[in-house]
A and B are shown apart, each in its own frame.
Chain A
Amino acid sequence: MVLLFIMQKLHFSAFKNTIMKNKVLLFIYILISNILSPNCLFAQNDSEVKLDLLKAPASPAANLLKFATTDIEKPTDLSALMLSLQSASSSLTKLPSNYAIDIAPYWLLRTRTDFTTTGLNKTNYKDVFRQTFVLSLGVKNVDSVIDNFKPTSTYGSIGFKFSIMRPKYNKENIAVLEKIHEKQKELNLAVYKFINKKNDEYKKLVSEYTLMIVALKQQFIDDVSFAKELKKQQENSSSEISKNEKSREELNQSTIDKVLEEKNGLIDELSTTAKEFDGKREGFSWDIAGGVSSEFRSKRFNNSKVHNAGIWTTIGFNGKKNLSFLMLVRYLLNPEQDYIDKATILQNGNISTIDGGGRLIYATAKSKFNTSLEFLYRQAFTSFSNDKTWRLIFNADYAIWQNQKLTFSFGRAFDGAITKDGNLVAALTFLTGFGNKR
């Protein structure tokens, strides 16, 4: 940056008599200098609350206990869930000390909920709820005081997240899915046609298998005992029944492999079509999340208080014409907290905050220009006072190259000051300074 600054200065000296003439050149130069310095380009004011941070967290319980996203267990089946629980609890001999988990019960139990794109395109409340419901749990113990967590206490939390409304996939995606189903149907029929023709080796295996099954049946007088014994033998890879089934599976598989080789073109078409699917939806969505965490003082379960609690809701709309809208409301409660009031006196009481905001976004997948208008309202309640403030910001950006953007923002900050930000503002301000007639 220092080098660039010196170069800019040198350029300024060289052009000082012809400023107006070279205004454009200078502007481009400054722009390039800014772009070459990514830190400057994407510098952000961290003290501001960003709308995206208010979005309902994926894991509310873990969020309340400040777990990192990577530390949250997300088992995808029942055995993974058991493994995770066993590992965290030393084979179920003690309570986990630091553990956060997200459980999607309907996915784990896999009953009457279709998680394929067919099911995920349904919009009725029952299906949407089952597909999106996540139960979130967390336990935390710390060694030293960190973020209001005390080493003498144990913290536990429970949370939930689900969607009430979800739009269908957009027309392009629905057309892609229909094409995929058509090609899959064609492939299934081709495989079925070939697999239905059995060779002598297969027929011989079937005859041997039938004899084995009939012989096994003779040993039992009731059907349940027979079925259980058959299941046992089918699951024992060294049994003759299992070996026979395996041999026939291999013969079928080799037939399928030949068919797939023949239908290579169809497989490629399926792959090309699947690539076009991007999962985008059009319409309204509404998500709700909530959670509460407790502090168990002296690590005793009969001595507890609410540590913090929160509820989030997000309403969104994705329009056809690249226009989308997002509305968020968050309520957070932090009971019995120490804080300093306006008269700089240390107080203790409940602190709760309501954050609400909306964002109108215009963005296209192919266009380089994106713009948004963002409004954020914040009210903090304490036992003694309540403060409210708001922020309104207009953002615009233009992609010059794939990872380089010209950004511009303008609006009112929480403290009432008018703000302007972004690398475009920096460049324009610099240029205006040079161009002044003094």
Chain B
Amino acid sequence: MPDNNEDHTSLVTTYVVNKTSQYVTLTLIVGGPGQTATSLVVLDETELLLAHPGDIFDYQIGKNKDLGGRTLKIVTTVTDTAENHNHTELIIRLKGGVIFREYPLSKEVNDNGSAVYNAEITFFSF
């Protein structure tokens, strides 16, 4: 897990799913307030969201039983448009699988600079 004092923009992890028909959802929260972001979300080779602006709340990725062995890839660019800070962050939340997981990533940029965040989450079926 990241050291809070360091920039951390890359995530590789595994999320445990089960064999139910319940949907696994993805939430992407971009910070700090006033930044501008666009996200690309791909499941294996299927583009789920090509250029989503801003936050994403509870986006249904797929059912638990269909996700085992598949990989979710996220690329988010956050550009500093905030007036009073240069902080960028991306909080990735996964819900609906075996347990809730939250992955915080962050980076301080220069004035009007950009941070590119990348995540690879493999679904592991128990």
- A interface, CB within 8 angstroms of B: 76, 107, 110, 112, 114-120, 177, 180-181, 184-185, 187-189, 191-192, 195-196, 209, 213, 217, 223-224, 226-228, 230-231, 234-235, 237, 242, 245, 248-250, 252-253, 256, 260, 267, 270-272, 274-275, 277, 279
Known interface pairs A252-B118, A256-B118, A271-B112. Does A192 touch B12 (Cβ–Cβ under 8 Å)?
no
How far does the Cβ of B6 sit from chain A's closest Cβ, in whole Å? 12
B51-95 vs A, Cβ < 8 Å mask (1 yes, 0 no): 101110100000000000000010111011101000000010000
> How long is the Cα–Cα vector from A180 to B57 in the complex, in angstroms?
22
A231–B98 Cα distance when bound, in Å, is 11
A-contact bits for B5-18, CB 8 A (1 contact / 0 none): 00001111110101
> A115 — which chain B residues lie within 8 A by C-beta?
30-34, 55
Contact of B81 among A180, A226, A231, A267 (CB under 8 A): A180
Say whether B42 faces chain A, with CB atoms less than 8 Å apart.
yes
Which of B33, B76, B124 is A213 in contact with, Cβ under 8 Å? B124
Q: Is the CB of A117 within 8 A of B14?
A: no
Contact of B114 among A189, A196, A271, A275 (CB under 8 A): A271
State how many angstroms separate the Cβ of B49 from the closest Cβ of chain A: 10
Distance in angstroms between the alpha carbons of A120 and B55 in the assembled complex = 11
Select which of B31, B42, B51, B80 is within 8 A of A181 by beta carbon: B51
- In chain B, positions 106-126 with a C-beta closer than 8 Å to chain A are 110-114, 116, 118, 120, 124, 126
CA–CA, A187 and B16, complex, Å: 30
Using known A-B contacts A107-B33, A191-B118, A231-B101, determine if residue A118 contacts B55 with beta carbons closer than 8 Å: yes
Number of A-B pairs, beta carbon distance below 8 Å: 156
B51→A116 contact, CB < 8 A:
no
- What 4 A-B pairs come out closest when comparing CB atoms? A118-B54, A184-B38, A223-B126, A274-B112
Q: Is B22 an interface residue (CB 8 A)?
A: no
Residues of B within 8 A of A192 (CB): 40, 42, 73, 75
B53 and A181: CB pair below 8 A?
yes
Q: Which residues of A contact B29 (CB under 8 A)?
A: 110
Tell me, rounded to whole Å, the shortest Cβ–Cβ distance linking B73 to chain A: 7
Contact B42 A234 (CB under 8 A): no
Complex interface: chain A residues within 8 A of B35 (CB): 116-117
Nearest-CB residue, chain A, relative to B124: A213
A252 to B11, CA, bound (A): 9
Q: How many residues of B contact A (CB 8 A)?
A: 51
How distant is the Cα of A112 from the Cα of B95 in the complex, in angstroms? 14
Are B99's CB and A228's CB within 8 A? Answer: yes
Q: Do A188 and B13 touch across chains, with their CB atoms under 8 A apart?
A: no
CB < 8 Å neighbour of A234 from B13, B57, B112: B13
Residue of B nearest to A242 (CB): B1
| Additional A-B contacts beyond A187-B114, A270-B77 (11; CB < 8 A) | A112-B57, A118-B37, A118-B54, A180-B36, A180-B81, A184-B77, A227-B97, A227-B126, A231-B101, A245-B13, A256-B9
- Pairwise interchain contact A224-B12, C-beta atoms closer than 8 A: no
Q: How far is the CB of A242 from chain B (nearest CB, A)?
A: 8
Contact in complex: B36, A274 (CB < 8 Å): yes
* Set of chain B residues within 8 Å of A118, measured between Cβ atoms: 36-37, 53-55
CB < 8 Å: which of B9, B30, B77 contacts A187?
B77
Contact, CB under 8 Å: B10 / A270: no
Whether A256 and B126, one on each chain, are in contact in the complex, defined by CB atoms closer than 8 angstroms, is: no
The answer to whether B10 touches A253 (Cβ under 8 A) is yes
Q: Which B residues are in CB contact (< 8 Å) with A248?
A: 12, 120
User: In the assembled complex, how far is the CB of residue B23 from the closest CB belonging to chain A, in whole angstroms?
Assistant: 17
A115 CA to B90 CA, complexed, in Å: 12
Q: Is the CB of B33 within 8 A of A237?
A: no
**Is there an interface contact between B126 and A188, defined as CB atoms closer than 8 Å?**
no
Provide a sorted-by-A list of 28 A–B residue pairs whose CB atoms are within 8 angstroms. A115-B30, A115-B33, A116-B53, A117-B34, A117-B35, A117-B54, A117-B81, A120-B34, A177-B81, A181-B36, A181-B38, A184-B79, A188-B39, A227-B98, A231-B99, A234-B14, A245-B13, A249-B10, A252-B10, A253-B9, A256-B9, A256-B10, A270-B112, A270-B114, A271-B79, A274-B81, A275-B111, A279-B81
Are B40 and A189 touching (Cβ within 8 A)?
A: yes
Q: Are A249 and B12 in touch, CB under 8 angstroms?
A: yes
User: What CA separation (Å) do A227 and B13 show in the bound complex?
Assistant: 12
Closest residue to B4 on the A side, CB-wise?
A: A79
Q: Once the chains bind, are A271 and B10 in contact (CB under 8 Å)?
A: no
- Within 8 Å CB of B75, what residues of A? 188, 191-192, 195
B69, closest chain A residue (CB):
A210
In the complex, residue of chain B having the shortest beta-carbon distance to the beta carbon of A234: B13
Nearest chain A CB to B5 CB, angstrom units: 13
Give chain B residues whose Cβ lies under 8 Å from the Cβ of A245.
12-13
CA distance A319 to B83 in the complex (A): 22
Report yes or no: B30 in contact with A116, Cβ–Cβ below 8 A.
Answer: yes
Decide yes or no: A226 and B33 within 8 Å by CB, A116-B55, A196-B73 being known contacts. no
**Cβ of B81: which chain A residues have Cβ within 8 Å of it?**
117, 177, 180, 274, 277, 279
Closest approach, in angstroms, between the C-beta of B99 and any C-beta of chain A? 5
A114 to B42, CA, bound (A): 22
B39 neighbours in A (Cβ, 8 Å) = 188
> Who on chain B is nearest to A198 by CB?
B120
Residues of A within 8 A of B36 (CB): 116-118, 177, 180-181, 184, 274, 277
